[in-house]
Amino acid sequence: MKHKTPAQKLADKIYFRRLTVFGLMFLSTILATLKWITVMPTDSVLFTKIVLIGLFFLTFAWISLFFWSSLFGFFDLWFKRPVPGIKWPGDSTSVSGKTAILMPVYNEDSSSVFANLAAIAEDLKNQGAAEYFDIFVLSDSTNPQCWVEEEKIWLAARRLISPEIGLYYRRRAKNTARKSGNIEDFCRKWGSAYDFMVVLDADSLMSGKTIVQMVKLMEVNPGAGIIQAPPMMINSHSLFARMQQFAGRVYGPIVSSGLAYWQVGDSNYWGHNAIIRVKAFMQCCSLPVLPGHAPFGGHILSHDFVEAALIRRGGWSAWLLPQLRGSYEECPPTMIDFAARDRRWCQGNLQHIKVLLSKHLHPVSRVHFIIGIMSYLSSPIWLSFLLTGLLIALGRWVFPPIYFPEVRTLFPTWPIFDKIGTISLFVLSMAMLIMPKFMGMIIYKRQNPQMSGTLKSVLCEILVSALQAPVMMMFQSKFVLDILTGHAVSWNTQNRGDNGTSWREALRRHFGHTFLGIATTVIVALYAKELFWWMLPITTGLMLSVPLSVLTSRVTTGRKALEHNFFVIPEEKKIPPLVNRQKYFEKLLQAEKTPEKGVVLLIGNPALLALHRLMLPVNGPAPEFDKHVLEAAQIKLENYVNHHIRPEFSKDEEIALLYQPDILTRTSVSLFL
């Protein structure tokens, strides 16, 4: 008998894992669908039955994949089984390659961004690895005042960071292709000087130990193209963000472990808190511009999935490693902010419909695209399923069933509806949705036995999530409809503050949800009483959407939850030193801010103006401006110098002046004469 090589054994193991997860998913979906066929009302027309069967199949398949993946993730965490196929570095492994840490930013709070980087740099120095890293802030900021502030805070942060670590800053004149174009621009200009790059988001924070370990993993696994560290949410203050943070801390590990169970070396990339082999990225990840117009055409929004697929197509492996800790991010503070971020992700994921059929992609990469697409299509599918059932019930009121047809029969024709069977399927679906949360809680309590209040927090989170679910269903269904009808999303800065939702804003954004909830409840109560209790969990969430959105957005309600030991995570009981240092650096950098902004700040600060002049060539050629824009800006600037009239520049006027160093220098000199 021929003995299998280790590579063949690993391939068999991976095949078995995928066959098990997806086999169980399809088997349970087929069995549930067959049961659904038997419990459907017998008087439904054939077309309606086919529609209901198809919608049920898709909805249950989505639930089933989540359940089985989480179950195997639970077992891996319980038995502490590592992801197979990747070699972990030993204690004696040293860092040898050079790594760039990239922080792309777009009109962000510069003090928070640079504080994160200062904390990372200090932690790397404490690891004795500072000489192997450089940090790059890659700005795509279009707000001229953010641009000047970034330069000022960069200079202040440079003084806080060890000289062993380079801290570099550049701003692109044109933010072509957004974040993916920003990273590509870095690789074209400086990528050849680095072996690896750690890609961050503006709210990312990673410990030096984790980053060093990721570099070592890359070095001892020369075939690895991407290694993703699952980020954990921190610094949440509003009730909505605190619940998301708690859910991510408790349920997140079994989700990521479940994904790693069947993905193994064919994992996805989430766009941040990951390390990438620069050689692999430069060889494989020149992203295409999709044919046609937005939302489906143009530059790819959700570039991370595509980059992972291209790297995998190039023969490199991609890994999601749940064992990597010390990786942090922040959460949108309100339900409306969360939905706004979801809108961008929705368009990006639906764009992948065009990428899905690209040649030579790994089958698992195609599965990633399908999962991403379905994560948003599942909402309109669920909504269609509910509406179809409701229309059938209302149809019985409009067209009552005929018990005695024209053809004479001995007995009346009674429509059959298996109520017990329907309830059983509903209970099964809810159990498959909720059980992973309790599995996550079991692992969480095993790892953090000192934490109290976990069960009540989980139960409360399940209740609030159930109320929020129909609201998010409506948001996402509208997003999908907007995209399918050709409405593209604009690229806006994400709200990372703690500004709560006002009652006016909530009423404006949720009026349709509230009206739909009330109207549906009244119609069902009057004309489809048998569905009243079935629909109540959905209609209640819609009817309460306004107060739910407002109250969960408040920092005060978040603090009340904290006082009563709801949604508390271990990192709040014992704050990681890295997070404390970030807060310390942010306080120092906040003190560097002044009331003056933009051009006014520059001309009043000769040192900063000199720095700005030096930085302009790095930014690339200046964009062209209409001469009338520059003339109007100069007039306002002269009135400021001569008559102390504070200028109110338009965005174009201020940017035009920022590209005129000679005008700024002459104005600055005259200001100090």
Mean pLDDT, residues 209-237: 96
Q: What pLDDT, on the 0 to 100 scale, is given for residue 412?
A: 47
The answer to the question of residue 410 being in a domain is: no
Q: How far is CA 217 from the centre of its chain?
A: 25
pLDDT at 41 over 80: no
Q: What is the pLDDT of residue 527?
A: 86
Query: Do 395 and 45 contact (CB within 8 A), yes or no?
Result: no
Span 576-620, pLDDT tens digits: 999 999 999 999 999 999 999 999 999 999 999 999 999 998 887
196-199 and 274-277 strand pairing: antiparallel
Confidence of residue 273 (pLDDT cuts 50, 70, 90): very high
The reply to whether omega before 400 is within 30° of 0 (cis) is no
Give the Å distances, CA to CA, from 563 to 273, 288, 541.
Answer: 31, 51, 26
CB neighbour list of residue 214: distance below 8 Å, 6 or more residues apart: 198, 227, 229, 275, 324
CB-based contact 224:217 (threshold 8 Å): yes
Does residue 101 fall inside a structural domain? no
What is the DSSP code string of 601-647? Answer: HHHT-HHHHHHHHHHHHHH-SPPP--HHHHHHHHHHHHHHHHH----
* Bridge partners (DSSP) listed for residue 320: 228
**What are the tens digits of pLDDT across the range 613-661?**
999 988 878 888 888 999 999 999 999 988 888 899 999 999 999 999 9
In the predicted model, what is the mean pLDDT of the chain? 92
The maximal CA–CA distance of the chain, rounded, in angstroms, is 109
Token pair recorded at residue 628: 């009338």
Identify the residue whose tokens are 């909805």.
Answer: 59
Instruction: Give the tokens for residue 518.
Output: 């009330």
Output the pLDDT for position 534: 85
- Residue 366: C-alpha distances to residues 444, 469, 479, 568 (Å): 32, 27, 23, 38
Residue 196 has pLDDT above 70, yes or no: yes
Q: What is the mean pLDDT of residues 392-402?
A: 63
Q: What percentage of the chain has pLDDT greater than the value 90? A: 79
Using the predicted structure, report yes or no on whether residue 533 has a pLDDT greater than 90: no
Q: How confident is the model at residue 496 (pLDDT cuts 50, 70, 90)?
A: low
Q: Does residue 494 register a pLDDT over 80?
A: no
Measuring CA to CA, which residue among 653, 660, 648 is closest to residue 628? 653
pLDDT at 406: 55
- 46-102 confidence digits (pLDDT tens): 888 899 899 999 999 999 999 999 999 999 999 999 999 999 999 888 898 999 999
Contact 287, 177 (CB under 8 A): yes
Residue-wise pLDDT for 289-334, tens only, equals 999 888 899 999 899 999 999 999 999 999 999 999 999 999 999 9
CA–CA distance from 42 to each of 87, 405, 529 (Å)? 58, 15, 19
Band (pLDDT 50/70/90 cuts) for residue 671 is confident
Tens-place pLDDT, residues 334-346:
999 999 999 999 9
**Which pLDDT score, from 0 to 100, does residue 495 have?**
59
> Residue 3's pLDDT is what?
79
Classify 486 in phi/psi space as left (phi over 0), alpha (psi -120 to 50) or beta.
left
Q: Per mean pLDDT, which range of 208-217, 305-314, 526-535, 627-636 is the poorest?
A: 526-535
**DSSP 3-state of 329:** strand
Q: Is the pLDDT of residue 199 over 50?
A: yes
> Exposure string (b/e) for 112-132, b if CB count within 10 Å is 16 or more?
bbbbbbbbbbbbbbbbebbeb
Q: Which of residues 499 and 476 earns the better pLDDT score? A: 476
Q: Would you state the pLDDT for residue 621? A: 82
Q: How confident is the model at residue 413 (pLDDT cuts 50, 70, 90)?
A: very low
Range of the domain at 616: 612-670
DSSP-based three-state secondary structure for 132: helix
Q: Is 664 part of a structural domain of the chain?
A: yes
Q: What is the C-alpha to C-alpha distance for residues 622 and 173, in angstroms, rounded to an integer?
A: 7
Count of domains in the chain? 1
| Domain annotation covers residue 384 | no
pLDDT in tens, 454-464: 999 999 999 99
Convert the pLDDT of each residue in 105-115 to its tens digit: 999 999 999 99
CB 67 within 8 A of CB 435: yes
Least confident window among 147-151, 224-228, 400-404, 553-557: 400-404
Whether 212 maps to a domain, the answer reads no
Give the pLDDT score at 44: 66
Instruction: Provide the terminal-to-terminal Cα distance of the chain, rounded to the nearest Å.
Output: 93
pTM of the complete model: 0.93
- pLDDT over 60 at 401, yes or no: no
What confidence score (pLDDT) does residue 416 get?
Answer: 47
Mean pLDDT of 335-363: 93
Amino acid identity of residue 357, one-letter, is: L
